[in-house]
Structure 1
């Protein structure tokens, strides 16, 4: 059975389960919208006291935030492994995963899938359209292609970072608060990196490259020519960090000794 077939079967079962409890799904969608609205309000509050932030206008930063929501939605949908340590290592559910002839990470991704998070794509596109319209941005024929490449690259950057963090559990099964902390650091990618200290900017570019999820690819569509080099680097950063995470996962699985050891 192919991986595509398995994926489609998981999706089908997931939709049956979620549609059985429609009210829960609606509540989750509304809570996500509220969270995103709070972030927009924060941006508006900041610009209530200044017209520019390190040379960036309100609508430009709103556009960056909208772009950020799209790859983040893909990440939240398919790489929701924030509780990997507690669920699969501490509680021993990885033992069950490893008895099946399918790649362990693929199974974990399918089990933790949250398709309702894809609604964030619509929200992000709406926010981008609103800000882009205010900025008078135009769309060239190649922009949709680059948009898809940048979104995929940004999602893979996010996935690569968090899968890599999850692999730490293969060597140490103690509970840590590193995942929530990293989610907070990831929020820095929603804003232009040049508003931060040079050290933070370096970290967000090369160590924990969350800037490739938001500001760098979005800068291309905002015609910020000085950021074009970073924008086009986005897909390559995604492939590199995701590939690195797969390598770490494969090595980590060989170090796993089981819940009873």
Structure 2
């Protein structure tokens, strides 16, 4: 109850701030949607030059992209850690966080919530629904349940990977710059993995499992079982739990190394 009430208070404070600067809020939403639209337009342009991509049709790839947007929007809302090193390590705000009774990572996540990112999830859901209809896929109650499970698993994968990468700041005095690199790598997960060579495919599946936030769980609904993709989709929640556990382990070890901002 303590953590739930804490979350509610942070959300109220966020709402009060955004009501004061409403135009800024909508500009942020619009810019995020424009960015996602450009990514979708890129996919559509690719299919103007080729009928399929690794054996996947345009509607199927668009469906994968729609799924990719749903967990990413949720992740962006609650795990907005992009400026962690600059704000909490360089400027010393981590000292303030550690003097409070709530779990440190939880406080940081609440302080950096970005609800406008949820609009990306809504748009992703709409893209999925349109593609679902155009592909003539059947929809059953089990599909709705599996969609929720896969989205949760994908969010956990995002959370675990970026928590671990953010924790590198505790081991280095300088901002690492690795997060932008990971941001670029994650985008490969929205395309069919069979278009990549075996090394990249293995990397995206088992080392940096971004394939599990897009194409693999989406293949379950598309019934695409090349290389056992739709079967691998069932591992999404398990992969999410494992990756999140690793991320929290790295974070907690990093916290123990933190010695304050100094003078």
Structure 1 distance, partners of 2:215, 2:230, is: 11
Alignment of 1:108-187 (within 5 A): 108-187=108-187
* Equivalent-residue separation in structure 2 for 1:121 and 1:168 (angstroms): 28
Matching residue of 1:77: 77
Partner of 1:27: 27
Q: Compute the RMSD of aligned alpha carbons.
A: 1.0
Farther-moved stretch of structure 1 (226-235 vs 52-61):
226-235
Q: Is the 8 A contact 2:33 2:119 kept in 1?
A: no
Matches within 5 A, 1:1-261: 2-225=2-225, 226-260=228-262
Listed as ranges, the gaps of 5+ residues in structure 1 are none
Aligned length: 261
Over 2 Å off, 4+ runs: none
In structure 2, distance between residues paired with 1:7 and 1:170 = 25
The whole-number CA distance in structure 1 between the counterparts of 2:44 and 2:116 is: 27
1:67 and 1:124 in contact (8 A); partners too: yes
Deviations 1:9-32 (A, max 9, x none): 111111111122111111111111
Distance in 1 between the 2:255 and 2:131 partners? 45
Rounded to whole Å, the distance in 1 between the matches of 2:167 and 2:40 is: 33
TM-score, normalised relative to structure 2 = 0.97
TM-score, normalised via structure 1 length: 0.98
C-alpha displacement of 1:228:
2.1
CA distance in 2, matches of 1:62, 1:231: 18
2: CA distance, partners of 1:79 / 1:66:
20
